[in-house]
């Protein structure tokens, strides 16, 4: 795995809550995950495209989830797509991905997996949402999960969906 991003691709990190690793530690984890997604798929972006990653807490993400999805609870990750693609090429502003520390930490502990592995999975999951992948229906969920598993395998992370039934969010 080369950790190579598309030409001129930028990852903008903002940390707004306690508990997260320092910026260089987070940058290493998310860059590896984002690079793996681009290397293992046919996702296309314009040169110089950018994604913004916000590392926050359960309170902040709960507010966003309530405002944008009408779900009054925290969640692990939210994605907010940026500019519309032209001819299936995305960018220059891919959008924002927001992560909630407490939820991700709790899930990693419950699943018995490393925090960084779970964060890598959620980074890939959030990124795929920016490319219009979804999991509202079973067929969409199967496709998205399959891509996630393929990408994660390239960086040595086990199938996060093993031992869990497929559940589309729209159900």
List, for residues 87-125, the tens digit of each pLDDT value.
Answer: 889 999 999 999 999 999 999 999 999 999 999 999 999
**For the residues 15-37, what does the mean pLDDT come to?**
97
Other CB atoms within a 10 A radius of the CB of residue 85 amount to 15
pTM for the model stands at 0.93
With cut-offs at 50, 70 and 90, classify the pLDDT of residue 171.
very low
**45-86 residue pLDDT tens:** 999 999 999 999 999 999 999 999 999 999 999 999 998 888
- Using DSSP, state whether 60 is helix, strand or coil: helix
Backbone φ and ψ for 153, nearest 5 degrees, come out as: -60, -30
Task: Calculate the average pLDDT of the chain.
Answer: 92
3: pLDDT strictly greater than 70: no
């Amino acid at each position: 795995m080369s950790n190579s991003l598309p030409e001129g691709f930028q990852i903008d990190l903002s940390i707004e809550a306690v508990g997260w690793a320092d910026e260089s530690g987070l940058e290493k984890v998310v860059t590896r995950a984002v690079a793996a997604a681009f290397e293992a798929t046919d996702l296309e972006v314009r040169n110089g495209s950018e994604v913004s990653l916000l590392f926050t807490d359960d309170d902040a993400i709960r507010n966003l989830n309530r405002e944008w999805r009408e779900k009054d609870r925290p969640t692990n990750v939210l994605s907010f797509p940026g500019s519309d693609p032209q001819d299936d090429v995305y960018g220059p502003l891919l959008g924002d991905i927001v992560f909630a520390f407490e939820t991700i930490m709790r899930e990693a502990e419950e699943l018995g997996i490393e925090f960084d592995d779970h964060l890598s999975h959620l980074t890939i999951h959030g990124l795929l949402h920016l490319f219009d992948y979804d999991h509202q229906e079973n067929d969409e969920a199967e496709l998205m999960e399959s891509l996630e598993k393929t990408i994660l395998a390239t960086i040595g992370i086990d199938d996060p969906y093993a031992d869990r039934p497929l559940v589309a969010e729209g159900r």
